[in-house]
Structure 1
């Protein structure tokens, strides 16, 4: 069996977003593993309209070529790490829209998350887990939360330091999340291939 292929999806598209710094840290650290392959997928690179199809692609093919291109990209992967901010106790609208633009492509694959903000995007990640359940994904227990004082050490709103300043704090949760992701990605990939 080939290694599971995992997308690290940057969920914010704002020009002033903070996401690029933790995304680079996450990708660099994830690529140190030899049990999964990782690719950064930036929502800014996809000109997704607001969801405007007659129904989810579970029920009928999408008509907008941009949505189909996104579905094809999402379908390449065996699992996902969603990098999310927390906007008013939830995920960014851009990430919710991207999730809604596909359905079948998410099914029976694990969904991990890294969040950042005052409380490490804990509430946003909880919302993300509920969305993942409806998309027939496997939401993971373990997540990486960059919050409070650690967030202010690396955020432009605070000291704007390098991610190396919070690396030691984040590494245990990153290891736990990636270990769990590797298990579920391998298990669901095997099951999908067996029942295809």
Structure 2
């Protein structure tokens, strides 16, 4: 089975990303067609990009980069849970992506975004970033609104139909992640 990391894309105090990611994981583990696990950026305290060489060289001098590389290398695909901050994804998620290059390549990703408008702009920016590091993002997306999926803009209470959107997105991530496996093996 392939391994899919559900990346918690915020490290802010009182973040919603962790609760959303746990909800996605709880739905995902019922499937049985892949292994799903949380990857919390809080567990990988990456400073602002501090490697001397570009990530494309793959020559990491810092232990925190090597730990991050090992974790991402172990996965076949991703679900990125991203907030929308100032019409984009979080800086910490952008930084985490920038730390690596080859480790991301030829893997599939789905997006779960949240914000006032469902995190749509954050998801679009994230798609551009992922394309640059050769991640194949799937078309199905889960866009959660702070107005309708969070009581009082804080307590996560997703609308029932959101589960179907998660299922569709996961179907695509698993199938693409599996289909891309020969490319990863050749690399």
TM-score tier, shorter chain, comes to over 0.9
Instruction: Report the equivalent of 2:94.
Output: 96
Q: Distance in 2 between matches of 1:61 and 1:23?
A: 31
Listed as ranges, the matches of 1:42-61 within 5 Å are 42-61=40-59
Are the equivalent residues in 1 in contact too, given 2:147–2:153 (CA < 8 A)? no
Aligned to 1:168: 160
Are the aligned partners of 1:18 and 1:155 in contact in 2 as well (CA < 8 Å)?
A: no
What aligned pairs does 1:35-184 form with structure 2 within 5 A after superposition? 35-153=33-151, 155-156=153-154, 160=155, 163=157, 166-184=158-176
Q: Which runs of 4+ in 1 moved over 6 A?
A: none
Question: Alpha carbons of 1:103 and 1:145: their partners in 2 closer, same or farther (altered >3 Å)?
Answer: same
Asked if the contact 2:58/2:101 (under 8 Å) is kept, the reply is no
1:90-119 CA-to-partner distances (Å, cap 9, x unmatched) read: 000000000011111000001211011111
Distance 2:24 2:113 in 1: 11
Q: Work out the CA distance in 1 between the residues paired with 2:75 and 2:63.
A: 20
The partner residue of 2:17 within 16, 19, 29 is 19
2:100 match: secondary structure: coil
| Aligned residues of 2:108 and 2:177 also touching (Cα < 8 A) | yes
- Give, in angstroms, the shift of residue 148 of structure 1: 4.7
Q: Which runs of 5+ in 2 are unaligned?
A: none
Q: Deviations over 1:137-191 (max 9, x none)?
A: 10111111111532333742xxx2x53xx24120121111011111101001133
Partner Cα separation in structure 2 for residue 183 and residue 41 of structure 1: 21
Return the alpha-carbon distance in structure 2 between the equivalents of residues 41 and 85 of structure 1.
15
